[in-house]
Amino acid sequence: MIKRIACLPLLVLLFSMAKAQKSIPVEIDRKPFADNAGHWYSIYDSKNMINASPDRPRYTSADLKQVADNILLFQKANGGWPKNYDMFAVLTPEQKEAVKAQRNTLNTTFDNGTCYTQIRALAIAYASVKDERYKDAALKGLNYILEAQYANGGWPQYYPIEKNYSRYITFNDGGMTGIVDLLTDIHEKEPLYDFIDATLRSKLQTAYQKGIDCILNTQIVDNGMLTAWCQQYDEVTLQPAWARKFEPPSICNGESVGIVFFLMSIKHPDERVIKAVNAALKWFEVSKIHNTVVKTVKAEKMDTPFRVSKSDRVVETDSTAAPIWTRFYELKTHRPLFCNRDSKVVYSLAEVDRERRDGYAWYTYAPQKALDAYAKWQKQLTANSTALK
């Protein structure tokens, strides 16, 4: 049975290998909700149930009941949540009524940290105020997670399943690992989830194990070499798949770092997990790009159908630069890969249309964080092995 250390945020800078006893939080942290809130305040969408009102106040992390009530309000009839709303917003009566009116519109998702973040927040609120509504909503959310899981252990980006790429198993933005991380806390008997009965806990345990299997089964073997992961996978074949038109099937270093940190947080990893981590770290080493820096430069404002571009990005040679990685590496050739909105693959940032060039994270330093943590992880493995003898 796989056991894991305490829950770690994806792409963490500080990586602890010693399991610490968790105390029950007394506040609901805003940070896990930041992606959703950021989208709501920065992007007006006519399809939204409600849009952000200017200069409206927000609840604090200590306002447990008010935030939990918002989470109840936004929960859909199937137990899931829509993305890109602020759970800390002080809503007007009119906004609340508009949200209530669409409870049966099931645009529910795991994208941008949605669902598993709300479930944890409800558990925190229930532990503090013992309002049965929060427990019931958390349980409904957990059953939504169970219903959404594919037989192979993966989760789609949206459930109910849609006909577009959102049906694919999604690692982008920590979707898969965020769900499994929550299930791991339950598996590890974190006191926050003591309200879960034995029957549901058993189902969640099975979902957790299947999720781990899916993570390991989707690690890309390319040219006979075990490498890292793609952002999304076909839900039937488990092969890397296209997402948006500029996100081709490829080896994706940014998302892979989050997966590696999750796997390294397993306290007593089996040989499959150890092999997966070792291979991914070897891939990070061989895919390093040296003497390269990406700079943001001033550029004339450019309006496009997708966004307003106010700057540009250029790649320059710099012998003092720290190692960097591209977001995508081409399957088979392992060349750094870029792509335009017409799905045309190119091999330099300069060939990407400006709107995408400065509007997407084509380069990343994230693998260095995993490389920095790797020696400590190996040392802990050795210590654990010695202790068991």
Q: Catalytic residue at 278?
A: no
Question: For the packed helices 271-286 and 253-264, what is the interaxial angle rounded to 10 degrees?
Answer: 140
Q: b/e map of 113-138 (b: 16 or more CB within 10 Å)?
A: bbbbbbbbbbbbbbbbeebeebbebb
In terms of Cα–Cα distance, which of 264, 180, 265, 375 is closest to 6? 265
Residues 6+ apart with CB under 8 A from 161: 167
Q: b/e map of 64-95 (b: 16 or more CB within 10 Å)?
A: bebbbbbbbebbbebbbbbbbbbbbbebeeeb
User: How far is residue 289 CA from its own chain's centroid?
Assistant: 25
Q: Catalytic residue at 112?
A: yes
Residue 271: which H helix or E strand, with range? helix 271-286
Q: Where are the beta strands (DSSP E) in 106-258?
A: 169-170, 221-222, 225-226, 232-233, 251-252
Residues 6+ apart with CB under 8 A from 270: 2
Q: How many CB atoms lie within 10 A of CB 336?
A: 20
* Cα–Cα dist 32/181, whole Å: 13
Q: Which of 103, 201, 244, 341 is catalytic?
A: 244
Q: Which of 70, 78, 84, 112 is catalytic?
A: 112
- Secondary structure letter of residue 154 according to DSSP: -
* Cα–Cα dist 280/215, whole Å: 12
* Cα–Cα dist 226/279, whole Å: 6
Residue 224 region by backbone torsions, left for phi larger than 0, else alpha for psi between -120 and 50, else beta? left
CA atoms in the 13 A half-sphere facing the CB of 345:
12
Catalytic residue IDs = 112, 244
